[in-house]
Amino acid sequence: MSDVHDYAAVGVGPANLSLAALGAGVENLRGAHFEARTSFSWHPGLLLPEATLQVSPFKDLVTPVDPTSPYSFLAFLAGEGRIYQFLTARFPAVLRTEFDQYLQWASRKIPAIEFGTEVRSVTERDGYFVIGSERGEVTARNVVLGTGQTPLVPAFLRPHLGADMFHAEEFLTRPRELSGRAVAVVGGGQSGAEIVRHLMRLAEPPLSITWITRRPGFLPMDDSPFTNEYFFPEYAREFHGLPRPRRQELLAEQKYASDGIDLDTLRDVYRERYRHECLLGRKDWLRLATRSEVTGCARLPDGWELELRGPGPTLVRADVVVLATGYEYRLPGCMSGLAHRLARTADGLVVGDDFSLSLSGETAGRVYLQNGARHAWGVADPNLSLLAWRSAVILNAILGYRRYNT
């Protein structure tokens, strides 16, 4: 069929944007990319002015597998006329706002991306996949899911979500007044730390900040050289081949290789605490609650009362609650018609060595998964580190030959 695409990509975050960038350089490859949002957006609620990348900017959309690509971060800097200033500035880490500008720049340059198109269904017809949206149908041999992670909120807190209790994902996109109000931040990872630092640096800061975590402390990310080899393709493949119980053990052992707090962020928070307490006289202004789990929540006439289980206070009152409680992968709703045909384990979807899902039936093509297989591929899977490599693996599988060296 001449009107059949080689693949259709659902969702255009960094993962499928990488796929589009690498695919754009392949002659006669027909790909279609659909994104419900009207333009590219990468966690806009967390693009705090101080936030930086926790990986090298060379781990961009393309460079690790195609350093000559016109869609690299260096090509962006050169194209925007800022490469000399960037090199001279010698930033210890790239600001996340600049990397977001790079991703937006690439999304405007790469063809075959349809923004403002929500995929509502993925079905099968005559051995092909049919992708349905309000704009009609597209037929493709393969589907690549890149809808990203979903904010994780404890079930007992979901009924309370609103203007003054929200996931960290919405921190900058919900207009609110924080000056003179008591703020509680729940979650001891990087997002929680960045929000606490931002709150401490406001010209008109909150009345108080309570930082709550189940962890034994505000622990740093393990960013040492040998640990960073967990983010190598070779290690990811080795991890994927291990028995499921061993993978679970390693994920627990390696938690702080990806889920700790950047050391510079921790230093900033500590210095801000010193400034507020010792120089400005705001004693007990930043309250730290470690080994503490939020187990209950009550709505008060003028705020919230959080119930904590831990060594410290059992009740915390707050006007605003920010839930930096992480993310989880959920199969997008458009896959509901095929979901019953996907193999699963207790950990999640069964993901093959080319990132394809195990789909029962006589389908000629495959469904590939981006950024949803931490249980199968290790701590690097939700990270930017293997972005280009994973897209190259998927493209090689779709093409049926080794277009990229993986």
**Gyration radius (Cα) of the chain, Å:** 22
**HSE-CB of 217 using CA atoms within 13 angstroms:** 4
* Cβ pair 20, 63 in contact under 8 A: no
Per-residue pLDDT tens for 174-215? Answer: 877 899 999 999 999 999 999 999 999 999 999 999 999 999
pLDDT band at 2 (very low <50, low <70, confident <90, very high): low
Whether residue 194 is found in the same domain as residue 316: yes
Residue with tokens 């720049």: 105
Q: How many domains does the chain have?
A: 2
Report pLDDT for 358. 96
**Looking at the predicted structure, is the pLDDT value of residue 32 above 90?**
yes
Task: Give a three-class secondary structure readout of 13-50.
Answer: CHHHHHHHHHHCCCCCCCEEEEECCCCCCCCHHHCCCC
Whether residue 295 is found in the same domain as residue 334: no
Whether residue 317 is found in the same domain as residue 349: no
Q: Which of 3, 4, 2 is nearest to 364 (CA)?
A: 4
Whether residue 41 is found in the same domain as residue 116: yes
What is residue 279's DSSP assignment? Answer: I
Residues 6+ apart with CB under 8 A from 198: 48, 49, 50
Whether residue 161 is found in the same domain as residue 297: yes
CA distance 6 to 398: 7
Report pLDDT for 165. 96
Does the residue 302 lie in any domain? yes
Whether residue 167 is found in the same domain as residue 104: no
Q: Specify the CATH number for the domain of residue 263.
A: 3.50.50.60
Last residue of a domain, one of 323, 340, 363: 323
Whether residue 355 is found in the same domain as residue 311: no
Report pLDDT for 369. 98
Give the rounded percent of residues in the chain with a pLDDT score beyond 70. Answer: 100
Whether residue 173 is found in the same domain as residue 191: yes
Instruction: Name the residue range of residue 278's domain.
Output: 151-220+259-323
Distance from the Cα of residue 230 to its chain's centroid: 18
Does the residue 225 lie in any domain? no
Does the residue 212 lie in any domain? yes
Does the residue 21 lie in any domain? yes
Does the residue 233 lie in any domain? no
* Cβ pair 45, 172 in contact under 8 A: yes
Whether residue 155 is found in the same domain as residue 145: no
Report pLDDT for 174. 83
Does the residue 97 lie in any domain? yes
Say which residue, 78 or 1, is predicted with more confidence: 78
Whether residue 155 is found in the same domain as residue 208: yes
pLDDT band at 150 (very low <50, low <70, confident <90, very high): very high
Whether residue 189 is found in the same domain as residue 136: no
Does the residue 42 lie in any domain? yes
Which of helix, strand or coil describes residue 250? helix
CA distance 14 to 241: 26
Last residue of a domain, one of 281, 300, 323: 323
DSSP string, 143-210: EEE----EE---GGGGGG-BTTEEEGGGTTTS----TTSEEEEE--SHHHHHHHHHHHT-SS--SEEE
Give the rounded percent of residues in the chain with a pLDDT score beyond 90. Answer: 95
A 10 A CB-CB count for 57 gives 20
**Looking at the predicted structure, is the pLDDT value of residue 50 above 90?**
yes
CA distance 383 to 223: 13
E strands, 239-362, are 286-289, 293-300, 303-309, 315-318, 320-323, 327-328
Report pLDDT for 203. 94
Whether residue 185 is found in the same domain as residue 302: yes
The per-residue pLDDT of the chain, averaged, comes to 95
Residue with tokens 């009740």: 315
Report the pLDDT averaged over residues 305-330: 95
**Looking at the predicted structure, is the pLDDT value of residue 1 above 60?**
no
Residue with tokens 């580190």: 385
CA distance 80 to 93: 19
pLDDT band at 288 (very low <50, low <70, confident <90, very high): very high
**Looking at the predicted structure, is the pLDDT value of residue 36 above 70?**
yes
Token pair for 25: 């350089």
Last residue of a domain, one of 323, 345, 371: 323
Does the residue 126 lie in any domain? yes
Per-residue pLDDT tens for 58-80? Answer: 999 999 999 999 999 999 999 99
Residue with tokens 């249980």: 375
Per-residue pLDDT tens for 333-358? Answer: 999 999 999 999 999 999 999 999 99
